[in-house]
Chain A
Amino acid sequence: MSERKLFAHELEARLDELLLLSLRQRSAAVPAALLEALPRELQERVLHWAGVAAQTSDDLGWLIASLAATQAAGLGEQLDDWVRAGLDAYDRSGLAATRKALNEFTAASKASALRSQYSVAFGAIEGRLSRFLQALDGRPLRLVSGTKAWTDTETLWLPERLDAANDAAGNRRLYKAIAALLWAQTRFGTFRLDPEPELEQWPDRERALAWFAVFEAMRLEACIAVELPGLALEIAGLRGPWPAELAAAAAKLARPDATVADSLACMAAQREIGVSPAPTLPHIGTLDPVAARRVRAARITRELAIVRRALNVIAATDTKAGAAENSDYPPLAAEGELQVPDPQADLLAMPPAAREAAKSLMQDLGEIPPEALHPAGPGAWQPVDGVDESIAPGVTTQPDAFYDEWDYRRASWRRGWCHLYEMEARSGDPEWVDEVRTRHAHLIRSIRRRFEALRGEDKPQKRQFDGEEIDLDAQVEARADRKSGSEPSPRLFIHRRRIERSLAVMFMVDMSGSTKGWVNDAERESLVLLCEAIEALGDSYAIYGFSGWTRTHCDIYRIKRFGDRYDAETRQRIAGIEAKDYTRMGVAVRHLSGLLMRQNTRHKLLVTLSDGRPDDYGDEYRGRYGIEDTRRALLEAREKGIRSYCVTIDRHGADYLPQLYGPAHYSVIDDAKKLPQKIAEIYRKLTG
């Protein structure tokens, strides 16, 4: 590439050509003028990415080009990541989101240039911290990054990056301290009382909340010290000593019986002294009691319903409690010991979901509230709480899985791009398979004979150091050796070793529209012969069909799962294989290799039966894109230890098959009618 920078008019012409701007009455003059100042290498990269983006959408290409014109100089090396972030955003939520994501990326990259080398990013500590929090007692908490540190009692938001300490270890400790104090808020009842009456008396709500956070931090640190003294010491080390005027409050809140009420009392006292700004300490997050209490209230309602229902079911089935028959069952407060279902004892009897809910309630309220212990009423209990609707997997059109797809032009993933549906294949004519078996009876017999010879069996291995039986030949020899004065061999035993084939095979059958007619017949007949052969071998195998219609309808048809037997139903499903839509292969490879990975065999084999190259509706997946994505999927499978093989009847396959499967891992059958005869032999060679 020549070093000469492109002039503005050259850039304008290139952009116009890439983005077809003149057709849309747009002019690239402005971005071209801006791009003129960049070095040639950067100019070319901007043009490249604009072209890549334009293949997805012209508007996207234009957006990338025009934003790159102003931002590329500042981004430098990060230009590629910048574009990928934008393309990801486009895939997820469209053009407006792309603009936002690109601008945010630039802002973040500017900020990062100013950051010290010791700062720690949330992403770098997330894994460690989430495990740490998971191990601590209490309800599980989700960890996400946000602009400030706070919790709504179910999610912890932590800053994107911390830079307050002098070294990276200090910043990591700071993350831990912030997270631990937020965890403690949910664990030690910061939100048990409504702080509004106190907060309302402050002229400045922000300032009031800051004080509330400080006093709670004092109290919670003491709570942590009881269970996790090392952690409390670390937090104390980070914050340094409390200011002298707060020492009294800190001592008061450190008492073991202190609750959030004491913190609020300290606030009131502080208000009397004067509402100065609260000390800002890096390890103390912010509080949003309204949001937290809203989440908490919703959770309590939900969990009360679950616990109540579980206890009622127990009470109804437990004749000793007698509660269910008694319609005017006395409340707990009145006659506490009388036939009350004991929540502690019943906790163990509850189903796990209810047990979790009960534990969570204890955490929120300190006890299972008495109202939960009341039966719902006389007579049969009605499942009405609506909880079931939300968790029951009803009939939905939700895809069974989402898969990433590889875009070679971007050299990156399109996240969650393919929507996969797995379904039972339709049953076909039961007589068809019988007809095929009769027609090929001779072939089937010979295949079975040959395959039975391959079957794994006990093979006695002679002359072993160790084994179940004595090898008499070796023994005779050893004696002769000894008598003749030469050194006898110590290998005197026979060891029986079971030679297991330990092989699982996944057959991935192309059900695209192009297989309609004799190709489809050939596929079905081949499968029947294959099943006969593999049944003789005893290998574990499964058959799935794949087809689809755009990335939002990638369909996988179950014909025979690994656990299924080769019975009449399976045979009918084979007979029912029919030509459907298109061939989006990458997602099928990913899904089926995932199923194959669950097999506990030493060898795993993925065999594709197809009639042509990957293809899908619209021109995107057709051609190189589809081949590259499929190749990527096959590589992923290989990394997992799956070997792939392709049997195709596409005579033009020779140009792309080596690229997809490697030179020796495919067979091209030139005539579909020969497929059934050849398939068993291919399989035998493949696995023999």
Chain B
Amino acid sequence: MNTANPASRADAHAPSTPLVHLSSEPYYHATGDELDVFAAAAKSGLPVMLKGPTGCGKTRFVEHMAWRLKRPLVTVACHDDLTTADLVGRYLIVGDETVWMDGPLTAAVRAGAICYLDEIVEARKDTTVVIHPLTDSRRALPVEKRGEYISAPPDFMLVISYNPGYQSVLKEMKPSTRQRFVALDFDYPEAATEARIVAHEGGVDADTAQKLVKLGGLTRKLKGAGLDEGAGTRLLVHAAQLIASGMAPAIACTAAIARPLADETDTRDALDDLIAAVF
């Protein structure tokens, strides 16, 4: 009867089941003691912050840990218009009634899930404040609009990620937020490890994987000299997947690595030269 259903619009913003139960093991290759630290933090109910450049495995690590700890996972990709209501929840109108809809954070707290706020610095500054009570000894989420105060069950865990490589001063985290977290530093894995990851994920042979990793290493040295960041492991995996599907390595690398990284002519040409040099 109603041609424009407001509820269905709002639904797009707040999916009703943000909880993901991972049934199969997400591939993750540990490079340090991050598995132990994370598990210990989970046991002690401490929030965790993952720092590191783009595409070095932060998201995959959280997925892996959720599977390992057998907890559901809620992932929120933060963006610059993410409001408190987007995280906590809001009233929707369904038919003639108002219906409360939990946001992903509230849903995670109720279910005792791992809530992963990806690239937290992208979110609006005031939204970070709503996570504060969850990150100290209170471990609770006040839902103001409902007058509700939800105590987090022991299984609930908050994980945030951020990329310290961004130069913008606007994308820095306030110390009052930072100092609530157990932090894990992520970086690109060592060459041999990364080659194994690329080979596994991209489905290419060891030799191709090594060349891709070599290329990735070369581009990372251009950080600050034409590139904001070098190629992450994810880009290398993408290139590997293109190669595995039968594409010529040089074309695959240009498409999956050089073009996503750079627009500027000199840098692009230099990347092409590097690809030609490695393959």
Give complex CA distance A129, B5 in Å. Answer: 58
Q: Is the CB of B276 within 8 A of A230?
A: yes
Q: Is the CB of A128 within 8 A of B270?
A: yes
| Chain B window 156-197, contacts with chain A (Cβ cutoff 8 Å), 1 for yes, 0 for no | 000000000000111000000000000000000000000000
In the complex formed, the residue of A with least CB distance to B125 is A498
Of B69-77, B130-138, B217-225, the one with at least 4 CB within 8 A of chain A:
B217-225
Give complex CA distance A470, B219 in Å. Answer: 50
**Residues of chain B contacted by A129 (CB below 8 angstroms):** 270
**Residues of chain A contacted by B267 (CB below 8 angstroms):** 131
Q: A234-B276, A600-B168 are in contact. Are A131 and B226 (CB under 8 A)?
A: yes
Chain A interface SS verdict (over half): helix
Of B6-14, B31-39, B42-50, B51-59, the one with at least 4 CB within 8 A of chain A:
B6-14
Of B15-23, B89-97, B198-206, the one with at least 4 CB within 8 A of chain A:
B89-97
In the complex formed, the residue of A with least CB distance to B84 is A468
Is B98 an interface residue, CB under 8 A from the partner?
A: yes
Give complex CA distance A170, B279 in Å. Answer: 19
Tell me which of A132, A229, A465, A600 contacts B279 (CB under 8 A). A229
Q: Is the CB of A466 within 8 A of B225?
A: no
Give complex CA distance A231, B270 in Å. Answer: 13
Give complex CA distance A600, B166 in Å. Answer: 14
Distance in angstroms from A489 CB to nearest chain B CB is 8
Distance in angstroms from B201 CB to nearest chain A CB is 24
In the complex formed, the residue of A with least CB distance to B168 is A600
Q: Is the CB of B279 within 8 A of A466?
A: no
| Chain A window 467-494, contacts with chain B (Cβ cutoff 8 Å), 1 for yes, 0 for no | 1111000010001001000011110110
Tell me which of A127, A465, A468 contacts B266 (CB under 8 A). A127
**Residues of chain B contacted by A469 (CB below 8 angstroms):** 90-91
In the complex formed, the residue of B with least CB distance to A131 is B270
Instruction: Report the interface size class on chain A.
Output: 20 to 34
Q: Is the CB of B225 within 8 A of A131?
A: yes
**Residues of chain A contacted by B4 (CB below 8 angstroms):** 487-490
Q: A128-B266, A230-B277, A490-B4 are in contact. Are A475 and B222 (CB under 8 A)?
A: no
Give complex CA distance A488, B3 in Å. Answer: 8
Give complex CA distance A135, B214 in Å. Answer: 11
Q: A468-B90, A479-B96, A492-B93 are in contact. Are A128 and B277 (CB under 8 A)?
A: no
Q: A132-B270, A492-B6 are in contact. Are A468 and B225 (CB under 8 A)?
A: no
**Residues of chain B contacted by A475 (CB below 8 angstroms):** 93
Is B274 an interface residue, CB under 8 A from the partner?
A: yes
Give complex CA distance A475, B6 in Å. Answer: 11
Tell me which of B6, B98, B275 contacts A490 (CB under 8 A). B6
Tell me which of A132, A180, A600 contacts B170 (CB under 8 A). A600
Give complex CA distance A128, B1 in Å. Answer: 63
**Residues of chain B contacted by A131 (CB below 8 angstroms):** 222, 225-226, 266-267, 270
- The A-contacting residues of B in range 65-109, CB under 8 angstroms, are 83-85, 90-91, 93, 96, 98
Is A228 an interface residue, CB under 8 A from the partner?
A: yes
**Residues of chain B contacted by A127 (CB below 8 angstroms):** 266, 270
Q: Is the CB of A465 within 8 A of B218?
A: no
Distance in angstroms from B99 CB to nearest chain A CB is 11
**Residues of chain A contacted by B277 (CB below 8 angstroms):** 132, 180, 228, 230-231, 234
Give complex CA distance A131, B266 in Å. Answer: 8
Distance in angstroms from A90 CB to nearest chain B CB is 32
Q: Is the CB of A487 within 8 A of B3?
A: yes
**Residues of chain B contacted by A468 (CB below 8 angstroms):** 83-85, 90
Is A227 an interface residue, CB under 8 A from the partner?
A: yes
**Residues of chain A contacted by B218 (CB below 8 angstroms):** 135-136
Is B24 an interface residue, CB under 8 A from the partner?
A: no
Distance in angstroms from B243 CB to nearest chain A CB is 15
Give complex CA distance A465, B6 in Å. Answer: 8
**Residues of chain B contacted by A488 (CB below 8 angstroms):** 2, 4
| Chain A window 436-474, contacts with chain B (Cβ cutoff 8 Å), 1 for yes, 0 for no | 000000000000000000000000000001111110000
Q: Is the CB of A135 within 8 A of B270?
A: yes
In the complex formed, the residue of B with least CB distance to A481 is B2
Is B269 an interface residue, CB under 8 A from the partner?
A: yes
Q: Is the CB of B222 within 8 A of A135?
A: yes
Q: Is the CB of B225 within 8 A of A134?
A: yes
- The B-contacting residues of A in range 125-145, CB under 8 angstroms, are 127-132, 134-136
Is B278 an interface residue, CB under 8 A from the partner?
A: yes
Is A573 an interface residue, CB under 8 A from the partner?
A: no
Is B148 an interface residue, CB under 8 A from the partner?
A: no
In the complex formed, the residue of B with least CB distance to A482 is B2
Q: Is the CB of B219 within 8 A of A230?
A: no
In the complex formed, the residue of B with least CB distance to A496 is B83
Tell me which of B9, B91, B170 contacts A465 (CB under 8 A). B9
Q: A231-B276, A470-B98, A600-B169 are in contact. Are A134 and B221 (CB under 8 A)?
A: yes
**Residues of chain A contacted by B90 (CB below 8 angstroms):** 468-469
In the complex formed, the residue of A with least CB distance to B214 is A227
- The B-contacting residues of A in range 581-626, CB under 8 angstroms, are 600
**Residues of chain B contacted by A309 (CB below 8 angstroms):** none
**Residues of chain B contacted by A228 (CB below 8 angstroms):** 277-278
Is A296 an interface residue, CB under 8 A from the partner?
A: no
**Residues of chain A contacted by B266 (CB below 8 angstroms):** 127-128, 131
In the complex formed, the residue of A with least CB distance to B250 is A230
Give complex CA distance A610, B219 in Å. Answer: 50
**Which of B's residues lie within 8 Å of A, judged by CB?**
1-6, 9-10, 13, 83-85, 90-91, 93, 96, 98, 168-170, 214, 218-219, 221-222, 225-226, 265-267, 269-270, 273-279
- The 10 closest A-B CB pairs, nearest first, are A127-B266, A131-B270, A231-B277, A490-B4, A135-B218, A228-B277, A468-B85, A128-B269, A132-B270, A132-B273
23 CB contacts below 8 A, A to B, read A127-B270, A128-B269, A131-B267, A132-B274, A134-B221, A135-B270, A136-B221, A180-B277, A230-B275, A230-B278, A230-B279, A466-B10, A468-B83, A468-B90, A470-B93, A482-B1, A482-B2, A488-B2, A490-B4, A492-B93, A600-B168, A600-B169, A600-B170
Known A230-B277, A468-B85, A469-B91; further 9 A-B contacts with Cβ < 8 A? A132-B273, A180-B277, A231-B277, A234-B276, A234-B277, A466-B9, A468-B84, A479-B96, A492-B93
